[in-house]
Amino acid sequence: MARLGHPIHDILLDRLDLTGSEVVCDLGCGEGATLVAAFDRYPDLTGLGIDRDPQFVATARARLARFGADVEVGDVASTLPWPEASIDRLLCHNVLECVSAPVDLIASAARHLRPGGRAVWSHVDFDGLVIAGEADRSRRILHAYADATQAWMDHSDGRVGRKIPGFVRQAGMDLVDASVHTLVETTLTGDALARVNEIGTVLESGDHGVTADDVDAWRRELDELDIAGAFFFAQPTVVVVATV
pLDDT digits (tens, 9 = 90+) for 90-120: 999 999 999 999 999 999 999 999 999 999 9
pLDDT digits (tens, 9 = 90+) for 130-158: 999 999 999 999 999 999 988 777 888 99
Task: Quote the CA–CA distance of 195 and 167 in Å, as a whole number.
Answer: 26
Across the range 227-235, mean pLDDT stands at 98
Contact between 102 and 96 under an 8 Å Cβ cutoff? The reply is: yes
What pLDDT, on the 0 to 100 scale, is given for residue 224?
Answer: 98
What pLDDT, on the 0 to 100 scale, is given for residue 1?
Answer: 64
- pTM for this model (two decimals): 0.95
Task: State yes or no: pLDDT of 125 exceeds 90.
Answer: yes
Q: Where are the beta strands (DSSP E) in the chain?
A: 23-27, 46-51, 70-73, 87-93, 113-124, 130-131, 174-185, 233-243
HEC per residue, 139-156: HHHHHHHHHCCCCCCCCC
Task: Quote the CA–CA distance of 156 and 202 in Å, as a whole number.
Answer: 13
